[in-house]
Amino acid sequence: MSETADIQATNDEAVQEDTPKRIPQPDKITNKDLMKSWFGWWWANEVPHTFDRMLAPSFCFGLIPSLKKLYKDHDELAKAFQRHLLFFNTQATWGGGTLTGVTISLEEARAKAMANGEEAISEDMINNTKVGLMGPLAGIGDSIDSGTVQYIFIAIFLPFAQKGNFLGALLPFLCFSIATFIYGYYLTKMGYTLGRNAAKEIMTGGRMAGIIDGLGVMGLYMMGILAGQYITVKSYLKFDINQKTFDVQKILDTIMPGMLPLLTVVLLYLYFQKQGLKITRGLLYLTGALIVLSIFYII
Amino acid sequence: MHVTLSVWQALLIAIWVALIESRILGFATLTMRFSPLMTGMMVGFIMGDIKQAMIVTAAIQLVYMGFVAPGGALPAEPSIGAAIAVPVAILGHMSPQGAIAIAVPVALLGSYLYQFRFFLNTFALKSMDRFAAAGNARGLGFSIMVIPACISFALFIPLIFIALYFGAPVISSVVSNIGHGTIIHVLNSVGGGLAALGIAIIMQVIGKKTLLPFFFLAYFMSVAFAKLDINMTIYAVFGAIFAIIYVMLTQRNTDKG
């Protein structure tokens, strides 16, 4: 059945959703548009956060400039706005950057097909791509950006802060914000060029696995240094046997220096391993234990 | 001497917190929110004691190493904790470890406040839907950015201002009157041990058990070399070199296999 015949046939009925409809030719998407959309998402990121839509409005906000270039037809533009206000939640750079690019490339393909009267990518296809990829990409992004990169910068500059220098706050903030903005933009561009295969590329590329491992080594290494330098747990326990004073901390130091701080971290780590990452509970238990032990001057 | 915050100091700190917690500065607010450092720095500028503010904030930071927010809800708001605890510590001449004991409960309360914001933002959804259906890009952008931002400002500025202006001097005078007894010892011990929390969380977040030896390597390096007073940048260089060697070796093995 040809498209025109199809349209004539359904003339009197309700037009089906995915029936191609002629719309004006879209403008070409340039790097500048991708930058605008990435910046829009980056800026709005968690401003309109709600429990029922999560970050969908921010994603939609980023897409506005690109969608306006693609859909010159008023109804189609409104429909595009509406479909990107549905539930969406992901991490900002690896998830949001990549998916901003992927979505623009899909929307562009849809708008072009509709303008040429060809069969277009359906709305469902666009939504499913977004929703299917948002979770796995967010997992990667959370552990790389907020879990590792951020704290590597903080760990490096922490000694400045400890000495009372404000650069200890400013430098990690600047490094993290600039680095994530730049690679987020590259992820947006990559998402756009690779279209739907983009996320697969990120997740299966051997190079990526290497980068993640490398950041993990670096992150754990820096945490080891911090643990050794800044956790202060020591014993104040002393007792007299036959007029000889035993100072527990001194005895522990002769066995292995830094035993108690390490023990504290390892116990907490094992707790999280066993119980899952229940941070608030870990915090309460640890505080409780420290209070009890310190009241009796055991530590 | 009666120490207190001026109206302007309290108000400026409250506005700074609202800027961060409304997220109106974009994704740059992530590290401002997860880490107390930038807030501590601003408090230092506003109160005219940057040095002490940074020393206190650095101690608070250790508790919150490794905090991530899967799905956007953080189990604590370190920047709110710092906004209250750093002024209290400066006014009351407290030790950094003692300040931690104040920051932790405040940050926990702050996380409920942040989640309350998600609920309030729901009121902006109706106008977003209406503008989207009308294809009105300008109205849509307005309702996505301006309405939620105003909601956050109306929520955070008054609350933080009241807590600082009326609460901070009270807490700090109570703390400084306690003197140096058991309570101070407990506060300092709790603060010193809580630093372990953030580090344990990062170990869990990075999640690869096979990489844990690098943690222990670093721990014992820093204990063994403590007297050498090695610069953190040097340690970071060591870390980067170990990372590169590790990746080169594992990549080669997978290429062979």
User: What angle separates helix B78-92 from helix B96-133, to the nearest 10 degrees?
Assistant: 140
Contact in structure between A75 and B135 (CB atoms under 8 Å): yes
Cβ of A172 within 8 Å of Cβ of B31? The answer is yes
- How confident is the model at residue A148, as a pLDDT? 85
Helix runs in A163-234, H state only:
167-194, 198-204, 206-230
* Close Cβ partners of A110 (under 8 Å, ≥ 6 residues apart): A120, A121, A126
Length of chain A: 299
Residue B27 gets which letter from DSSP?
A: G
- Tell me which of B88 and A215 has the higher pLDDT: B88
Which has the closest alpha carbon to B65: B35, B103, B86?
B35
Q: Output b/e per residue, A203-221; b: 16+ Cβ within 10 A.
A: eeeeeeebebbbbbbbbbb
Q: Taking CB atoms and an 8 Å limit, are B218 and A64 in contact across chains?
A: no
pLDDT at B71: 55
CA distance B171 to B5: 12
Answer yes or no: are the C-beta atoms of B195 and B62 closer than 8 Å. Answer: yes
Residue B208: Cβ-neighbour burial (10 angstroms; 0-12, 13-18, 19+): middle
Predicted confidence (pLDDT) at residue A205 exceeds the cutoff of 70: no
| Nearest one of A151, A185, A175, A145 to A43, comparing CA atoms | A185
Tell me what the mean pLDDT of segment B92-104 comes to: 85
Q: CA–CA separation, B40 vs B147, rounded Å?
A: 28
What pLDDT, on the 0 to 100 scale, is given for residue B242?
92
Model confidence pLDDT, tens digit, residues A35-66: 999 999 999 999 999 877 889 999 999 999 99
B218 touches A223 (CB < 8 A): yes
Distances (CA, A) of B218 to A222, A229, B233: 7, 10, 14
Each domain of chain B, given as residue ranges in start order, spans 7-207, 208-257
* Least confident stretch, A148-157, B141-150, B191-200: B191-200
Mean pLDDT in residue range B76-102: 89
Among A55, A61, A226, A266, most B C-beta atoms within 10 A, so best to mutate, is A226
Nearest to B219 among A53, A170, A228 (CB): A228
CA distance linking residue A93 with residue A106, whole number of Å? 19
The tens digit of pLDDT for each residue in B235-255 reads 888 988 999 999 888 877 665
Q: Which residues of A38-69 are buried (b: 16+ CB within 10 A; e: fewer)?
A: bbbbbbbbbbbbbeebbbbbbbbbbbbbbbbb
- Which of A43, A85, A220 is the closest to B212 by Cβ? A220
Closest-CA distance, A110 to chain B, in angstroms, reads: 18
Place of tokens 């058990």: B209
What percentage of chain A reaches a pLDDT higher than 90? 37
pLDDT of residue A16: 47
